[in-house]
Amino acid sequence: MADRQPIISIQNVTKRFGSKITAVDQVSLDIMVGEFFALLGPSGCGKTTLLRMIAGFEVPTKGTILIDGEDMHSVEPNRRPVNMVFQSYAVFPHMTVAENIAYGLRVVGMSRSEVAGRVEEAIALVRLQGLEDRKPDKLSGGQLQRVALARALVKKPKVLLLDEPLSALDAKLREAMQLELVNLQHSVGITFIIVTHDQHEALTMADRIAVMGEGDVLQVAPPTELYEFPSSTFVADFIGQVNLFTVEHANIHDGATVVRISELGEITLAHHKDRITHIAVRPEKIQLGITEPSEPGLVKLKAKVKNISYRGDQSYVFLVTPKGLTVSARVQNVGRSLSAVARQGDELWLSWRPEDIQPLAD
């Protein structure tokens, strides 16, 4: 990624609505050529506002947005080399599929024959052959989305912006479309920026993810790094499930970081950080056992099963420590036994390796 050029460069961008609401606060971000980039965050975190500023529908209160090296400050949305797919798809209801896709070419005065060729190409790209003359009210949600995609891609933008593109689809279709979007991005080679509140979507599709919270970009990293090495409690908590333990005090001993946690005692960490307020352990890293694990070096703790959440392929076991903290552990349902791995009220041993602990600062 390092050798690539940024296609979009967001520099110290702030967006305020009125005097009270700051939607985006001092954000700086580079998005590289050919990248599948995700803006991830809970609703109201400013991700859509940031996307709309790139598209040109909102003007930054402060800061600069460069697209392919050019300052976009006074460039109207219809003159920017980016195109957007809206959450509602916004397929023009009074036009057929082909007319919808041709629209962006027709309004800029492209010749009829060239439009026809490009439209045909785009229809093939999103596999809508045979539906050219359909009206939108005769299309399914997935087909509408393909129309919206083709209509934006036919313009050959430098960057395609997607605002929550899958949120209107049902679960099965959403999974299929995630894969399809990735394949589509590979085949056209255009930079995609997707806005989503769904962590699975971002982890599955994106090359890099920016996690946003309350107008700030909190961490920008590839999916694995984001999941395994979150930089803050917010990110750790937002991406996937996590067990957080409060650190009472931390100090460095002969180059090793030792933290004190009331539930666990003193632990020597494998990863270091200047300031540590919490440590995090993912539920799937925790082993459950009836007897105390004998392997040396493990972090271990006894707790009582409170309840079990069955998910089909796996179960989450929630346990309460003697000090009253709830810890969740994931169990793969490998066998086909009907009796549960654990029963409510069982006393079990939890254990995990020190390497699986992520130190965090809030």
Partner 1 sequence: MASLAKKSGSMRRRLRAQANPLDYSRKAWLRLAMGGAFLFLYFPIISLIVFSFNNSKRNITWQGFTLHYYDKAFQNTQLHEAFLNSMIIAGISTTVSTILGAMLGLALYRFRFPAQGPYEGMVHLPIVIPEICMGVAMIAFFATIGIPLGLLTITVSHIAFSIPFVAVVIRARMAGFDRSLEETSYDLGASQWQTFWNVTFPYMKPGLIVGALLAFTLSLDDFVITFFTSGPGSTTFPVKIYSMVRFSVTPEVNAASTVLIVMTLALTITALAIQARAQRRDDHG
- Indicate whether 20 belongs to the interface with partner 1 (CB under 8 A): no
Token couple for 36: 């599948």
Site string for partner 1, 97-126 (x = CB under 8 A): ------xx--xx------------------
Contact range with partner 1 by CB under 8 A, out of 76-84, 304-312, 313-321, 354-362: 76-84
What is the C-alpha separation between 205 and 182, in angstroms, rounded? 6
Binding partner 1 (rule: CB under 8 A), the pick from 12, 28, 88, 326 is: 88
Indicate the residue among 134 and 330 with the shorter CB distance to partner 1.
134
- Burial (0-12, 13-18, 19+ Cβ within 10 Å), 56: buried
- Indicate whether 229 belongs to the interface with partner 1 (CB under 8 A): no
| CB-CB contact of 47 with 97 (8 Å) | no
* Angle 21-60-11 from CA coordinates, rounded to 5°: 115
Of the candidates 349, 311, 346, the residue with the CA atom closest to the CA atom of residue 332: 311
What is the C-alpha separation between 331 and 257, in angstroms, rounded? 30
Indicate the residue among 103 and 318 with the shorter CB distance to partner 1.
103
Element spanning 212, H or E: strand 208-213
Q: Which amino acid is at 108?
A: V
Q: What's the min distance (Å) between Cβ of 159 and partner 1? A: 12
Residue 120 φ/ψ, nearest 5 degrees = -60, -45
Token couple for 129: 């052959």
What is the C-alpha separation between 273 and 335, in angstroms, rounded? 40
Of the candidates 186, 187, 112, 174, the residue with the CA atom closest to the CA atom of residue 141: 174
- Indicate whether 358 belongs to the interface with partner 1 (CB under 8 A): no
- Indicate whether 21 belongs to the interface with partner 1 (CB under 8 A): no
Q: What's the min distance (Å) between Cβ of 172 and partner 1? A: 23
Indicate the residue among 150 and 210 with the shorter CB distance to partner 1.
150
- Indicate whether 84 belongs to the interface with partner 1 (CB under 8 A): yes
Indicate the residue among 156 and 271 with the shorter CB distance to partner 1.
156
Binding partner 1 (rule: CB under 8 A), the pick from 92, 246, 252, 326 is: 92
Of the candidates 161, 140, 54, 31, the residue with the CA atom closest to the CA atom of residue 91: 140
What is the crossing angle of helices 112-125 and 141-153, to 10°?
130
Token couple for 254: 């002969």
Binding partner 1 (rule: CB under 8 A), the pick from 27, 40, 55, 126 is: 55
Indicate the residue among 115 and 261 with the shorter CB distance to partner 1.
115
Q: What's the min distance (Å) between Cβ of 361 and partner 1? A: 40
Contact range with partner 1 by CB under 8 A, out of 9-17, 53-61, 122-130, 255-263: 53-61
Binding partner 1 (rule: CB under 8 A), the pick from 6, 136, 141, 293 is: 136
What is the C-alpha separation between 84 and 275, in angstroms, rounded? 40
What residues numbered 144-163 form the site for partner 1, per CB under 8 A? Answer: 148, 151-152, 155
Binding partner 1 (rule: CB under 8 A), the pick from 4, 5, 42, 57 is: 57
What residues numbered 281-320 form the site for partner 1, per CB under 8 A? Answer: none
Q: What's the min distance (Å) between Cβ of 148 and partner 1? A: 8
Judged by DSSP in three states, 26 sits in strand
Binding partner 1 (rule: CB under 8 A), the pick from 6, 34, 77, 293 is: 77
Handedness of CA 106, 111, 112, 113 (dihedral sign): negative
Tell me the site size for partner 1, rule CB under 8 A.
26
| CB-CB contact of 128 with 97 (8 Å) | yes
Binding partner 1 (rule: CB under 8 A), the pick from 18, 69, 93, 324 is: 93
Under the rule (CB under 8 A), what is the footprint of partner 1?
Answer: 55-57, 76-79, 83-84, 86-88, 90, 92-94, 103-104, 107-108, 136-137, 148, 151-152, 155
